[in-house]
Amino acid sequence: MPAQPELPTQDTPGSAATGTPAPETSVDATASGTVGAAGTGRPARQWGLDALRVVAVCGVVAIHVVGLVLGHDDLRHTLTWWTAAAIDLGVTWVVPVFVMISGALTLAPRAHAAGPAAFYRKRFVRIIPALVAWHLVYLVGVRVLWRGEELSLNLLARNLMDARVFTALYFLWLIAGLYLVAPVLAAFLKDGGRRRAMILAGVALAFTMVTFVASGAAAMIGAPRPIHLGALTMWWPYVGYFVAGWALHRVVLGRRGLVVAGVLAVLLMAEAVWQWGVRPEHPWLQALLPVGYLGTTVAVAAVCVFLLAVGVGARVTPPPRVGRILVRLSDASFGVFLMHLLVLEVLRQTVPGVAEARSLVLMVGAYLVIVLVSFAASLGAARVPYLRTIV
């Protein structure tokens, strides 16, 4: 399961060049969430996206921790297994949502006002150091020194090209690829309004869904045509989500629409949990309606969750102190994504029950510890020179 890489921060009045709001700054937002602080001419901070980012990164950790229980086939269909499946599959929308949040902020015209060179300089100065540093941490620190793995040059090259150095790090390559094409997408969307963005998002998502369904169906009829995504191609199936984030980030549903979106998201995720449970008995169902980040069920659920966050966030403005805490937690989510696997590795090496991953109670406890430690470490590292450049 991938997780959330660096996502551009929202600009608010008083922010520095990085877009991180000054702690003492507050923003007055209307119910629609489209009015900024008086006299700034900037859009208001979308608190719903900050909250969604925090919830989503917690979902990522849940998948990587509680999801380990699903690796035991002898537990299948037990209460433990179904509960773990509900937690794991129930938050499968987190990765598409992270891409949508990134698209909502990265494709904004202001992000490209100074031209592609300035855009690339700002984004890649942030993501490249993190990509290099954390690949070294997990490759050298965890796999070689801690686990004692012997990696041949051939295996190392394949791992790098396939973006399989360590769980979830491929998502850094995914975002880097989307950053590369962002100026082209932004230029196309600039004068087309929301309608053009929605059409492009719909076409791109539909193309992706059909492509992966076709690959699954081909395998079922004995003519397998697997789709291989490597470090340099990981980004392309997510273009639809990326554009959808920009297309929908100011769409505020009415109360009835929010209820419909919420109910639909819950039903779709419940179906995904059930389908994963019966997958061995119904392989064609998985082939035609794959449960995964690029499957139709998860795509629709992700859009619903995103619209829920935008709609609720437009109606609720947190008190200044709560808002500052939310912003800090939101900004810390990148570090949580990068660090939580390291904390999990420590627990797996020191607590046998976590390594076995058979006790749901123990894994939920481990999840809570990992979330708390990762957030604390990320918030602390953000205050340390040099370290803050990679978290």
Residue 93 in domain: no
The structure tokens listed for 130 are 């993190």
Show the CA angle centred on residue 332, arms to residues 326 and 336, nearest 5°. Answer: 125
Q: Which amino acid, one-letter code, is at 329?
A: L
Give the span between the Cα atoms of 277 and 295, in whole angstroms. Answer: 16
Nearest to 303 by CA among 253, 235, 244, 242: 244
What is the domain count for the chain? 1
d(CA 244, CA 300): 11
For residues 80-105, give the mean pLDDT.
96
Range of the domain at 110: 100-271
pLDDT digits (tens, 9 = 90+) for 198-235: 999 999 999 999 999 999 999 999 999 899 999 999 99
The confidence score (pLDDT) of residue 158 equals 92
Residue 121: per-residue pLDDT: 94
Rounded to an integer, what is the distance from CA 360 to the centroid of its chain? 24
Task: Name the nearest CA neighbour of 60 among 352, 369, 367, 388.
Answer: 367
pLDDT (average), residues 9-17: 37
Within a domain: residue 304? no
Q: Specify whether the backbone of 152 is left (phi greater than 0), alpha (psi in -120 to 50) or beta.
A: beta
Does a structural domain hold residue 174?
A: yes
Residue identified by tokens 């935008």 is 310
Assess whether pLDDT exceeds 80 at residue 38: no
The answer to whether residue 9 is domain-embedded is no
Q: Where are the beta strands (DSSP E) in the chain?
A: none
Whether the per-residue pLDDT at 343 is higher than 70: the answer is yes
pLDDT at 42: 59
Whether 261 and 308 have beta carbons less than 8 Å apart is answered as yes
pLDDT digits (tens, 9 = 90+) for 253-308: 999 999 999 999 999 999 999 999 998 888 888 888 899 999 999 999 999 999 99
Tell me whether residue 143 is in a domain: yes
- Please give the pLDDT value at position 5: 38
* pTM beyond cutoff 0.75: yes
Tell me whether residue 80 is in a domain. Answer: no
What tokens appear for 16 in the block?
A: 């520095």
Q: Could you identify the residue written with the tokens 């690796």?
A: 71
Within a domain: residue 344? no
**Percentage of the chain lying above the pLDDT 70 cut:** 89
Residue 28 has pLDDT above 70, yes or no: no
Q: Is 188 among the domain residues?
A: yes
